[in-house]
Structure 1
Amino acid sequence: MSRLFLSNNGEPAIERNELLVSYSYTDRGQLQEVLDATGQVVRNFGYTEEGYLKRHQLASGAVREYEWARYTFPEKRPTPRRADGTPYRLPPLLEPQPDHEWRVVRHWGSDGEEYQFEYNLEEGETLVTDGLGRIDRYFWGPLYDVYKHVDALGNCWQAEIVAGQLVKRTDPQGGEWRYSYDDIGRLIETRDPLGRSERISYLRHWALPVQVTDRAGRTRRYGYDAHGNLLWEQDPLGRSTQYQYNPEGRVTHVTDALEKTKHLGWNTRGQLLSYRDCSNNQTLYHYDLYGRLSESINARGEQTHFRYDARGYLIESERPDGRIDRYEVDTAGQLTRYIDPAQKKLQFRYDLSGRMVERLDAMGHSVRFRYDAYGRLLQLTNENNESYRFGWDKLDRLIAQEDLDGSGRIYEYDVLDGVTSLTHVPSPHEQAPLSENAPATRTTPIRHDFERDAIGRLLSKRTEDGITDYSYDTADNLLSIIFTNNQGEKQQLEYTYDPVGQLLSETNSAGLLQYRYDELGNLQTLTLPDQRNINYLYYGSGHLHQINLDGRVISDFERDAVHDEVMRTQGSLITRTRYDKSGRLSGKAIHYRDAPAEVLPLLDKTYRYDASDNLIAEVLTQTQRRSLGDIAADDTAHLEQIIGHFHRSSHTGKSYTGSNRYGYDPNEQLQNTHQSRPNWQATQVEDFKYDKAGNLFDGPKLHGLIKHNRVLVYQDKRYRYDRFGRLCEKRIGSNWVQHFEYDAEQRLICVDQYRSGERERVMFRYDPLGRRISKEVYQSDHSEPRQRVLFHWQGLRLLQEIQSGLSSLYVYTSPKSYEPLARIDGGYGKESIQHFHTNLAGQPEQLTDESGGTIWRSDYCGWGEIREQWQDQRESREQNLRNQGQYHDREIGLHYNTYRFYDPSIGHFTQPDPIGLSGGINFYQYAPNSISFVDPLGLAYDPISALLELGFTGVEQTQSGGLDYRNSNALYTEKNINPVVTIEYTGDYALDAQAANTKAGLNQKSTPRGYVWHHVDDYNAQTNRGTMQLVKQTAHLGITHNGGVSQYAAVTGKRYTHPARFSKGAKPCP
């Protein structure tokens, strides 16, 4: 097969051609070999004497073989029937048909996978037995429609199929899904096991829906032109989106509910050439002769270039500043080496079936994977040669996981694959106490039991501490969560929603929170329990340009052509932001808001990076005073007063330059820091050493390892963990001992500590979502706390704290961000606004009041511990926010991080990751470094790093924490298939995948083996649409990220389900 290039003058003459792929055949005309553009054999085939496929070999070397047997047709076959029960009258056959057929009776592969097939043609039954002895039975009708499947555990899935249409599906627990069709076979109604109905009406002659009414009676409407192109769609709130097309049927204009229009330009090949947003900012795309993306130019003029090998695989991507990422791909199309712009290498090794078996990081440390013949992971061995082990049931469901120390988890399931129990098994090993009065640790398992309804929704969770009940509306929106403890005391959360499923209110420990949205679904107003309003103003399609409190401006924002922030107001101050050619933050400058242009900034921060994007230097230039020239005397005095207030924490009376410098090892782990300030006697230096698994250790050992990833000794600190891997005891020096206690949800509830002979107890309480709602500090044996702090939440962000009766309200840089913007102290009508100034990772460095005066300032050690801080003596409130999503508990020296606690002195969490291996293979690791990485929920380190560890490059993280695989090597690359499509969300993984498969041009309902459809986090609540990307399963499963499904759930309250599933499929997007 060749590619033909026509002459440029439009004549049909062929200017040149180029070989793409070539094929060779046997003497009987059967395909024998497939060779790629370089002449490399990528597939070969062998056949039986009868002409049936006997074997084929993949480019990786894996071989698949088949054994065939001849079957004679039975004399009588069942008669196919129509929906009304009448038999089909098949047309007469034009020629005699054979009385037999050949069927595969055995299939096996070079990796040990094996299946045997037994057929009963008279009864329409097939038995499939694999090499593990698992048996699946399939029953099929006269048209070979499978109407019953008995799986390897004996669960029976039944389907009623009439005239080739599925009319009823019954799951093993009796739940029925019913389907109705119109006269021309279009699906018009789906009824679930709870009796809820979804209805669809269509254009008269086309299978194009004009109205879809969901289970809650909410209706979406659609209009089309004479060619079937979608012209408009309207959501249940009446908000419309309109589309215009060019003569080839490609969308050229998209006009949203605010009548703002986006423009798309295409070439004759159907490739996107330009995208201009409603703010008139344009992104351009260029392609090479083969139709591959060769260049993208964003609205800031930054150019990214892509280069490919002769087979079409990406081998180089050049960033706007000229740095180059390189990729090496083997014959099978698998990434074997990634070389970053700093020439650091990640290497990957695969088995013959394409499963990764080893990953080597930039320092040569190895992570190994071992599978069984059926692709199930049996063992995962980390860099320290310690292993996780896994057990699976007959349906390939994970039933047991053994962790590094012998502790683990046991899972039980219902027939719909819903987890019904989770048991945490303690380790058989006990660590010796650090003190004489250390309490005994738990030795028995911790069990959680779950109850679900007929469609798999969680109804209740039972633990040793009590029962949590969940209720839903007819649209599957979560209405309430009620926790009842063993004493009968209740905690309740309640929610309400609008007709498109957007959250309207939440009742929690703070009272009633109310939400109002603009026409595009952007949060417009958050109404607090005391009726104050935090308002968000946007431009374009949802770019934030102001946050105010009841009209009182907290911050105004200005943005550049790609909508990155370039300026924000902060009371009397302005912060201006600069970027380099690659879009990295290169500097910040804090100015007095009304200062003339010739006045230097109060503080200028300049950032420098290495070739791997690690921050290597911050230069801080502080201006104390300068000649103000011809500025009026009154203005001069005022400026000097502002300068003095801003710098009153600096302990110096003149301008100065300070710096923070950072060094990294090849794995981007923080290796050293050098911090200097004029008022310090010497440069502050830190040096860090790590074992192969990234654990911080103390001492001169060059090849030491931290067993089970648990730091036991660091400087003057000693750590002890219980049998579940939780920190249970900590000794600091000789006079401070802490003991930690946990509840049935493994949340820290009590710290008993003894310091210099004094006893103190710190108690924590949580709401039904696991958010901490109070902290109480007790001195010695006093029955009343000496300090009580209450915490209120908006979603999973800290909204407010009340300490000693003093209220502080937190505002963040956007409705989805965890980077603090402002703290509002005081109640209604008595507010004072304090403004946060943060570092590159969003960590607060300075807090200023409305006049620009500093009231708090800090410098940090390498892993987030305070090195030095200053606070205005007139300020009674403590500033406890640290890394994004973290709150410093001064009493115990740890940071609360939503789902667990973080110890900034060792850069590790104190408890294993609640999401297990989904957060990485080191349960305690925060990140390679805390200078550039963030983890607001305390659940997982950077997903891009996790993907690189798995051999996937080019994935980009979106602003809301999602993943975009568009330019990655994880994207599906088969010819003539579009792996990026837009669909309408259904609330059902299987139906979404079917729609995406169709739009992609796959011409099949099933997703290609080894791939999964990723829901990009661009879900549009108004149109109920979003982007899907077809990516490798191994680049998706276990990679924690925000996705369109979580956005859909947040807007609608629905949990995605599998109602269209008849057999098991790939696991879903989060």
Structure 2
Amino acid sequence: MSFNGPFGYGWMLNYYMRLHQIQGGDVVIVSGDGRKIQYTFNGTIYLPPAGRFETLVKNPDDSWTLTQAQGEQYQFDADGKLVAIKDRNNNTITLVYDTGQQPYYGKSKFAQDPLNSVVIGSDYRLVQIVDTGGRTIDLTYNAAGLLDKIIDGSKEAAFTYDPATNDLLSVTKPATPQFPSGVAKSFEYENHNVKRIKDARNQYFVENFYDALGRVERQNLGGSDITFDYSVVDQVIETDRKGFQNVYTFNAAGNMVRKEEKTNGLRLTDPASFVTTYVYNADSLKTSETFPRGNGAKYVYDSANPNPRSRGNLLQLRRKTDMAAADNTINDIVTVMTYEPLFNQINTIIDPKGNATAYTYDHELNVGHPKHGTKGDLIFIDQPAVAAGTPVTELAYNSFGQVTESIDPNGNVTQYAYDPVTGYLTDIYQDPASINAHTHFTYDSFGSLDVVTDANNHATDYDYDALGWLNRVTNPLGFVTRHTYDANGNIIKTERQADTLATAWQTTEFSYDILNKLKTVKDPLNRVTTYNYDNNENLASVVDAENNTTGYVYDERDLLFTVTDANTPAGVTTYDYDLNGNLAKITDANGNPTAYTYDLFDQLDTTQYANLSSSNFDYDKNSNLTRHTTPSGKPIEYAYDALNRLTAKNFSLTPGLNTTYAYDVGGQLTDANNSASNMHFNYDALNRIDGTTQTLNATPYTLDYSYQNNGNLSQMIYPSAKVIDYTHDPNDRLDLVKEGGATLVDYDYDLLDRRTFKTIATSPQQQATYQFDIANQLASLTNTILPGTNISTHAYPVYDAAGNRKQYDRTFQTNPLETINYGYNDIYELTSVTGAQTNSYDYDLAGNREMANGLTYVSNNLNQYSNVGGTAYSYDNNGNLISDGTNAYTYDELNHLLVFSNGITNASYQYDAFDRRVSKTVNGTATYFIYDGDEVIAEYNSSGGLEAEYVYGDQLDEVLTMGRGGNSYFYFYDGLGSVSEITDTIGAVVENYTYDAYGNPSVVNSTINNRYRFTGREFDEESGLYHYNRRTYSSELGRFAQRDPMDYEGGMNPYEYAYNSPANFVDPDGELPILVLIPLAYAAFEVGLSALDAYSTGSTLLDPCVSGGEKLTSAGLFLVGALAPGGGYSTGAKVTKSSLKRVKRLITNLSKPDKNPGLSQEKFNQLKKIVEKTGGKVRVDLKGVKGTGVNPHAQVEGLGPRIKSRHIWLQKGVQ
């Protein structure tokens, strides 16, 4: 039917549903997208068509009720108008109509006179939509009876039509000061089919061309064409905008049964096409999918259930290695689900290993139970029993179905309060009986998040324009971030207040292409980075502000094919994939391949390097990694509990490395033990670590933590009973560090959250002064003894347009001005150092040195240096440097350096369960290290005597003070974060340090036993190497001694340090280089995120249709990341002393494939489908994991949604 109604020809409103009873007694419902759904009357009941899991009942008053699977009801009056939508908590949207009638036109089998081809029926006009809280949206109509306006308070959306055809011509959103006429999208037609669409930026971004049957045969999208060939029945041949073909085959019900992705000769090894096939049941539910490798999945539904509302429930998901083979319980991976019968919500999930999670709802409780009800609210979640007990989560709700209380398995309580009228979340109380961390939310009249007041009573204010776009964020100190948008709603300018008078602003500008993809970013210094895309909207190139281009090419499946860097000659990295699209090979710019194979569950099976050495991986049925055989042939075995948490790592050839992990019933890690260290964690009621006990050499060392209500660390008590207090300003920036109640260090910041002063409260005071340019680049760092005696000055007066340091000027108390100049190639590898230092470096295409200061380097096909200056270097099978001609090195299976020897000095090292080095013994003298997170806070000798204590600031690897031998020492740094000077309590310089670009120090043997040097990392005097947490770094070679444990995530050269750009990057964990200070690209990205976060989070919190769990998760994530002064993420380069940082490495390690592999993407997709059956949603933390692809952590969110009333959409009806 071509519907010509009040919303224009062929356009439908989502609330515009109509019920018609036709001849014979059957009923047809026209849905909000124009589809006709016919319910067959069998004389007793109305049977839904295949694929519709709902029941239709005619009421005694001739009204109708359509009930969907999970209890949502659509109510129609006797005239067939949709008059109400109710959820199972009785939250209601009421639809109000006028009494006049508006004709619609066109042939319809609903007509009383089927021969009449003009006026065939009549309809009432929808004039108002009212939600449970009484909020209204009004609809008005023009003289022709067509929708004229949708009015939400003072906001309006206006519609215009072609008077001759009734085609919708334009939709105009509300006016704002920036857009006084509003923003409009317009449409052009060809025989009522949309021909062209012009967006609010006045661009025709799409044009359709139709065949004689009204099907789109060509679409020009953003300037390039997609074509569709319908010449074969039930088949569509699509030629995409890059000229690649896909062939789709459909069954009679319109379901795609075959997808063929044709290749085009980009890779000689590719087949002619990649084919995926699908099978469906009578309800059009997919019952199997077979991937190109022949593996796939089967789905079993409750199709035989007599209740139509239950027939769509997924009962079983079976993953198979061979879809042609018979089902096999041993080989297949099977997940089983059951459901409660009233609302078809999931009752149990039994995972492939037989572990069951049970969900209990209010109506399943005994009538006498205080939480018994009839609304289907989820009350209990019982997870599989583990060593600590059975984890049970308990929830409570208000009458609207919103979560009011959650009690986690440890008994920790969180309460939630809502506005009684709007249903918006207003308050979160964490541990209300004791800590009572209270966060408060307010909203504007349109439901946008207005003010968030954190648990420290610090408020962040959000302002929006009439379009609902976030245009202003005011932080707790009253400073402002502003956002400006183009007419399509893209942020085109972000300004951060830079002075107290609001006359100076830090401005970043953005532009977009015709399809609203980011095109350029102009930083506050007017330096422009440009992004280009191929015809399929994949990123094709990035042109930086130095006009250097990195290019990307994609294959027929839009998988990355090549990356070409900006160097001369260019380095090209190539990517190949298997039939299922898994990465099969990476070939670096030197032509060295790394190959990957996968089992038939698409889990990584082997990694083979260019020398044919390999790693092998095995998994259990829950896709947990159970065995990793390293290239050296040594196995590492992993064990898990019923919640898939890592409980043990076993090393059959090195039992001393065996490690165990334990958790409390709520899932918090409590113990991690191996032969070197026992580590125990305690938690408060907000699940923050409030104490640790680290046992080394049979001696326990305890750390205690206290927090402010908003999560900022407020106190740390050392094992020696030293008390360190921390205070923060309203922007959550570290303000004071106190020792024993007396101020130790005082911090000051500018309005852009950049540190301006660090003042050490000695007598006389000592101070570090920081100056930045408007783009957050450090201009100078001056270290002084107040009132003005210079300790050192580090100035960076010249940066290139890409943000690389070109000049470094430094002065010291005893040295005059020294100038060092840096030169780079086109990919910003350091090639020359001139001035006060003279160095030169040449690299091959993969980033290996070929020449450095006249010394020749030779690399093998693993990018290892096999020869340096005529001296042969050798490596073990795991890729660790074991000999450099002078020194010998030994490693464990986890590639930790265990032993160093040079014939004179012998050193051995031990590591805990989190890869932290906890002891070193040099020529028989042992030192033990106590950690706060990943920072060493104390050193003890083998007799348990205290040797040294350290206090840290809020920057990475920033030691503030060292106490050793009864003396206190204070650290000053250069602009790279390297230790420059150490002073005593009167400001006298005890030691000072300089370095070359790669960190070779001027002082090798410290007279005060200072262990920290280049980039703030530990320098081992016994070996001349640096300890970078997960790896050992040689400043002489300018690279690491071990492969990157993140493999290629930090770059294609697994030994390279800081992208060979050591003046600009640091690598504090030895895993991933980061810029020294806030990079401009990141700053631009983060301010964009601040607007997105505030907008999307606000929408989630205020939306009464969103479930309680979604609100809570959104609020929690928002509070973690978005309350920074710029409105979100504006302190991106700052690492604070929060519990998040404290467990960062612990969590990171446990989520790595050789630590605690998570679900594969395939596994996650299955779980997502399962959980979605509950009516909840899945929140996913996708962490890149080598070996399994991703590590999603999914949780079922709170159920009991309230109904939407502010989300109305028009869409072109089904033709």
| Shared fold (TM-score, shorter chain, > 0.5) | yes
Pick which of 235-244 and 271-280 moved more. 271-280
Q: Which residue does the alignment assign to 2:637?
A: 469
In the TM superposition, residue 841 of structure 1 has moved relative to its aligned partner by 5.5
Pick which of 217-226 and 45-54 moved more. 45-54
Mapped pair 1:187 → 2:335 = no
CA distance in 2, matches of 1:303, 1:491: 53
Residue 1049 (structure 2) aligned to one of 896, 914, 918: 918
CA distance in 2, matches of 1:40, 1:903: 56
Q: Which residue does the alignment assign to 1:1033?
A: none
Q: Which residue does the alignment assign to 1:692?
A: 826
Q: Which residue does the alignment assign to 2:537?
A: 354
In the TM superposition, residue 798 of structure 1 has moved relative to its aligned partner by 3.8
Mapped pair 1:852 → 2:971 = no
Q: Where do 1:118-517 residues align within 5 Å? A: 118-119=249-250, 121=252, 126-132=257-263, 133-161=273-301, 162=303, 163-172=311-320, 173-184=331-342, 185-204=344-363, 205-216=374-385, 217-246=390-419, 247-257=421-431, 258-321=435-498, 322-384=505-567, 385-425=570-610, 444-463=611-630, 464-485=632-653, 491-517=657-683
Equivalent position SS for 2:846: helix
Contact 1:23 1:32 in 2 (8 A): no
Contact 1:424 1:445 in 2 (8 A): yes
In the TM superposition, residue 232 of structure 1 has moved relative to its aligned partner by 0.5
Q: Which residue does the alignment assign to 1:659?
A: 793
Q: Where do 1:986-1001 residues align within 5 Å? A: none
CA distance in 1, matches of 2:443, 2:939: 49
Contact 1:841 1:931 in 2 (8 A): no
Contact 1:327 1:337 in 2 (8 A): yes
Contact 2:506 2:775 in 1 (8 A): no
**Which TM-score applies when normalising by structure 1?**
0.76
In the TM superposition, residue 720 of structure 1 has moved relative to its aligned partner by 3.0
Q: Which residue does the alignment assign to 2:939?
A: 824
User: Residues 381 and 1017 from structure 1, CA distance in 2 versus in 1: closer, same or farther, beyond 3 angstroms?
Assistant: farther
In the TM superposition, residue 304 of structure 1 has moved relative to its aligned partner by 1.1
**Which TM-score applies when normalising by structure 2?**
0.67
Equivalent position SS for 2:213: coil
Using CA pairs below 8 Å that are at least 6 residues apart, which structure has the higher relative contact order?
2
User: Residues 547 and 9 from structure 1, CA distance in 2 versus in 1: closer, same or farther, beyond 3 angstroms?
Assistant: closer
Contact 1:863 1:930 in 2 (8 A): yes
- Cα deviation, 1:325-371, whole Å, max 9, x if unaligned, reads 11111111111111111121111111121111111112111100111
User: Residues 720 and 9 from structure 1, CA distance in 2 versus in 1: closer, same or farther, beyond 3 angstroms?
Assistant: closer
Mapped pair 1:747 → 2:880 = yes
Q: Where do 1:889-1038 residues align within 5 Å? A: 889-904=1020-1035, 908-909=1039-1040, 913-920=1044-1051, 924-926=1056-1058, 933-942=1065-1074, 954-956=1084-1086, 965-967=1089-1091
User: Residues 43 and 193 from structure 1, CA distance in 2 versus in 1: closer, same or farther, beyond 3 angstroms?
Assistant: same
Q: Which amino acid aligns with 1:939?
A: E
User: Residues 568 and 504 from structure 1, CA distance in 2 versus in 1: closer, same or farther, beyond 3 angstroms?
Assistant: same
Contact 1:926 1:935 in 2 (8 A): yes
Q: Which amino acid aligns with 1:777?
A: S
Residue 762 (structure 1) aligned to one of 888, 897, 900: 888
- Cα deviation, 1:894-917, whole Å, max 9, x if unaligned, reads 323244443446765466644344
Structure 1: runs of 5+ lacking an equivalent: 72-102, 426-443, 627-653, 732-736, 755-760, 780-784, 958-963, 984-993, 1001-1012, 1021-1026, 1029-1040
Mapped pair 1:66 → 2:228 = yes
Q: Which amino acid aligns with 1:585?
A: R
Contact 1:422 1:447 in 2 (8 A): yes
User: Residues 160 and 299 from structure 1, CA distance in 2 versus in 1: closer, same or farther, beyond 3 angstroms?
Assistant: same
Q: Which amino acid aligns with 2:868?
A: K
- Cα deviation, 1:587-626, whole Å, max 9, x if unaligned, reads 111112xx6xxxx41x211011123212121111125xx9
Equivalent position SS for 2:456: coil
Equivalent position SS for 2:775: coil
- Cα deviation, 1:30-70, whole Å, max 9, x if unaligned, reads 22222112321122223332233333332x22322323368
Q: Which residue does the alignment assign to 2:772?
A: 609
Contact 1:863 1:905 in 2 (8 A): no
CA distance in 1, matches of 2:571, 2:417: 58
Equivalent position SS for 2:595: strand
Q: Which amino acid aligns with 2:945?
A: K
In the TM superposition, residue 753 of structure 1 has moved relative to its aligned partner by 3.5
Contact 1:362 1:667 in 2 (8 A): yes
Residue 813 (structure 2) aligned to one of 678, 681, 699: 678
Q: Where do 1:536-547 residues align within 5 Å? A: 536-547=705-716
Contact 1:324 1:341 in 2 (8 A): yes
Contact 2:745 2:761 in 1 (8 A): yes
Residue 865 (structure 2) aligned to one of 727, 730, 737: 727
Contact 2:410 2:666 in 1 (8 A): yes
User: Residues 614 and 931 from structure 1, CA distance in 2 versus in 1: closer, same or farther, beyond 3 angstroms?
Assistant: farther
- Cα deviation, 1:443-496, whole Å, max 9, x if unaligned, reads x311111111112111111233311111111111111111233xx765311111
- Cα deviation, 1:534-570, whole Å, max 9, x if unaligned, reads 1122121321122212471252212111221111135
Equivalent position SS for 2:679: strand
Contact 1:738 1:751 in 2 (8 A): no
Q: Which amino acid aligns with 1:1068?
A: L
Residue 738 (structure 2) aligned to one of 558, 562, 569: 569
- Cα deviation, 1:267-326, whole Å, max 9, x if unaligned, reads 122211111111111111111232111111112222111111222111111122111111
In the TM superposition, residue 929 of structure 1 has moved relative to its aligned partner by 5.9
In the TM superposition, residue 995 of structure 1 has moved relative to its aligned partner by 10
Pick which of 168-177 and 546-555 moved more. 546-555
Q: Which amino acid aligns with 1:327?
A: F
User: Residues 415 and 386 from structure 1, CA distance in 2 versus in 1: closer, same or farther, beyond 3 angstroms?
Assistant: same
Aligned-pair RMSD on alpha carbons?
4.1
In the TM superposition, residue 838 of structure 1 has moved relative to its aligned partner by 7.2
Contact 1:230 1:243 in 2 (8 A): yes
User: Residues 928 and 346 from structure 1, CA distance in 2 versus in 1: closer, same or farther, beyond 3 angstroms?
Assistant: farther
Q: Which amino acid aligns with 2:658?
A: Q
Contact 2:677 2:912 in 1 (8 A): no
In the TM superposition, residue 382 of structure 1 has moved relative to its aligned partner by 0.8
Q: Which amino acid aligns with 2:795?
A: R
Equivalent position SS for 1:956: helix
Contact 1:858 1:866 in 2 (8 A): no
* Number of positions where the alignment pairs a residue of Structure 1 with one of Structure 2: 899
CA distance in 1, matches of 2:1106, 2:197: 31
Q: Which amino acid aligns with 1:545?
A: S
Q: Which residue does the alignment assign to 2:1158?
A: 1055
In the TM superposition, residue 214 of structure 1 has moved relative to its aligned partner by 1.9
